[in-house]
Amino acid sequence: MNEVHTLVIACGNPLRGDDAVGPRAADIVKSWDAPGVKVLVVHQLVPELIGEMKQVERVLFIDAGTNAGEGAFQSRIVEPKKSSRLLGHHETPANLLAMLRDLEGRVPQAWLVTISAVSFHHGAEVTEEARNRLQRALAWIGAFLGTERSCMKSV
């Protein structure tokens, strides 16, 4: 039996251009079949994910964004932080962690990988720039998960 210790939550809409890099990353990570890793693909972060998050030691969120800085992607540790808005169905990783802390009294270690994106148009394909940036992010994700398979599949 393979006990899950790491949860990968990839967020994005495959029908909105570069927003698909999260789900594409998830498909590739799933193909690595890394022991102890569970991969979920969601359109948006919702409170219902807490049920999955509370069962693991660490969580890796993957998403596209226009605020990833100068590089191909940005990785950062996520700390619990409550949002000032009402509970809804579009949360942040920090707010999900805060809710989990309040409900369970503990939180897993958490990181967010934001892959630089340029186009979020409906029906558009993932841009070449985003595919290249995804490939670079996958190298980091592979190291994070402890697998050397990060570059075996093309994006």
Backbone angles phi, psi at 106, to 5 degrees: -155, 160
Per-residue pLDDT, 22:
96
Give dist(CA 18, CA 111) in Å, integer. 21
Is 21 a residue whose pLDDT tops 80? yes
The two tokens of residue 97 are 């962690």
pLDDT bucket at 7, cuts 50 / 70 / 90: very high
Confirm whether 76 is domain-assigned. yes
Domain membership of residue 115 (yes or no) is yes
Q: Is residue 152 part of a domain?
A: no
Residue 102 lies in a domain: yes
Residue 28 belongs to some domain of the structure: no
Nearest CA among 28, 20, 41 for reference residue 147: 28
Residue 88 pLDDT greater than 80, yes or no:
no
In a domain, 44, yes or no: yes
Neighbours of 61 (CB within 10 A): 24
Domain containing 54 equals 39-145
**CATH of residue 103:** 3.40.50.1450
Domain count of the chain? 1
Say yes or no to pLDDT of 31 above 90: yes
Q: Tell me, yes or no, whether 10 lies in a domain.
A: no
Least trusted range by pLDDT, from 60-69, 81-90, 104-113, 118-127: 81-90
Mean pLDDT across the chain: 89
| Greatest mean pLDDT range, 59-63, 86-90, 118-122 | 59-63
Higher pLDDT, 147 or 154: 147
pLDDT of 66: 84
Residue 37 pLDDT more than 90?
yes
pLDDT score, position 121: 85
What pLDDT is stored for residue 1 in this prediction? Answer: 45
CA R_g for the chain:
15
Q: Sign (positive/negative) of CA torsion 83, 19, 151, 1?
A: positive
Inter-CA distances, 91 with 50, 96, 130, 154, Å:
11, 7, 24, 30
Asked whether residue 32 is domain-assigned, the answer is no
Is the separation of the CB atoms in 108 and 55 below 8 Å? no
pLDDT (0 to 100) of residue 67? 72
